[in-house]
A = this chain, B = another copy of it.
Amino acid sequence: MNRAFDLKTLTINGERLWSSLMDMAKIGATPKGGVKRIALTAEDKAGRDQFVGWCKAQGLAITLDTMGNIFARRPGTDAALAPVMSGSHLDTQPSGGRFDGCYGVMAALEVCRTLDDYGIKTRHPIEVAVWTNEEGSRFTPVMEGSAAFVGQFTVEFARTQKDVDGITMGDALDAIGYAGTAPCGFPVAAYFEAHIEQGPVLENAGMVIGVVSGGLGQRWFDVTLAGMEAHAGPTPMHLRRDALQGAVKIIEAIDTMGRSHPDTRGTVGHMRVEPNSRNVIPGTVHFSVDLRAPTDELLAGLVAQFHAVAEAQCSQRKLTLAIKETVYYPPTPFAPECKDAVRAAAQRFGYPHMELVSGAGHDAICLATRCPAGMIFVPCKDGISHNEIEDAKPEHLTAGCNVLLHAMLDRAGVV
């Protein structure tokens, strides 16, 4: 086919993408420049309405599934083929930013708009997805819509989860009118997701595009050490059973373990000391442990080290130890064909790019358990996310969307 443009260097409309992002950011806008659009609230409904309005204006066919996931389809030339899908989420953290999630949805919509601008036909349908409750701020689990889509739990289970006010997810979904009738889950040919990095790696390395290799496996624990509460003054050091002194040795070891491999992480983010009085030796300390690694073998090694250090410390200091595993997400490598498509697109435009791992969870990591998936990261200012000051540069967002366009075309096939 002869075209009036060069398909290989086709670019999206960066100004339109930015304008859509800024329009969406008005819904739930906070005084500090962030966004509060918590899942299944009036703001979430307004955001969904805005998105559906834009899709209808673009002639995309809307489907709602029973989890409230929204799909906007641009037909392919072969109706028998599963769609090449891209999207993310519109819900935010309570003090969220303008780009986390929203960028992936707006970028996928911009791909459809660009294809329409140039009258490009694809073999596979192109489909934009908005996943319900990715953040998990109001209802658990996180990544709820995409996790249900890939069958990690049933829609019935999800609908019974309650928020802090006792409202079920099902009732909240019905109330905003986004409980659809389509079954949750169907074949997908390939899934891509564009997202701000939410970390400092790209910015530090001066890169524009992150070719995401997959999602780190995660194992989370609740730890409790109990010793003997006692007066700080009258209790000599050798007669103490100080739970905090045992805890600090373990916390230090968690950090050291995280440094054992470039892609492992060890974090203690939560800590509670009892009785927490300045002149009383701590009797009990609770803290969280969050270990992440790119393979199950590495992850199991970290967990074994953590247990060994904790047991040794507690035995030495006569403390009791309780460890409870609260979360296990297996490591999820992305499909080579999706990574290659992302890398090739970045190379074509000459964007500085690097391969990196996703330390956080994303809808794409759920999708990757059922279909070939990939992600495109773009830098965010100072690596900050889940914060009203979250920021990203328009030129980086445009670059990420150009990469998304070409990666999707690679998998969907241009007729």
Contact = CB atoms under 8 A, between A and B. Distances in A.
A239 interface: yes
Interface stretch (A109-117, A145-153, A174-182, A226-234): A226-234
Given A359-B234, A359-B235, A270 B266 contact: no
Given A278-B220, A279-B290, A233 B270 contact: no
Contacts of A288: 278
Contacts of A295: none
A88 interface: no
A245 B238 contact: no
Interface in A264-317: 264-273, 275-282, 288, 290, 292
Contact of A266 (B237, B255, B272): B237
A230 B269 contact: no
A265 B237 contact: yes
Nearest to A280: B269
Contacts of A359: 231-236
B281 A276 contact: no
Interface in A214-263: 216, 218, 220, 230-239, 242, 244-245, 248-249, 251-252, 255, 258-259, 262-263
B201 A231 contact: no
Copies of this chain, tallied across the complex: 2
A66 interface: no
Contacts of A262: 236
A304 to B, nearest CB: 19
Given A233-B292, A265-B237, A255 B279 contact: no
Contact of A234 (B197, B233, B276): B197
A245 B279 CA distance: 23
- Which residue among A220, A244, A279 has the maximum number of chain B CB atoms within 10 Å of its CB? A279
B245 A383 contact: no
A270 B201 CA distance: 35
Interface of A: 197-201, 204, 216, 218, 220, 230-239, 242, 244-245, 248-249, 251-252, 255, 258-259, 262-273, 275-282, 288, 290, 292, 358-361, 383-386
Report, nearest first, the 5 A-B pairs whose CB atoms are least far apart.
A199-B234, A233-B359, A278-B288, A233-B360, A232-B267
21 contacts: A199-B235, A218-B233, A220-B278, A231-B359, A232-B269, A232-B292, A233-B358, A233-B359, A233-B360, A234-B385, A235-B359, A235-B383, A244-B251, A244-B269, A248-B252, A269-B273, A269-B277, A270-B278, A271-B271, A271-B276, A272-B276
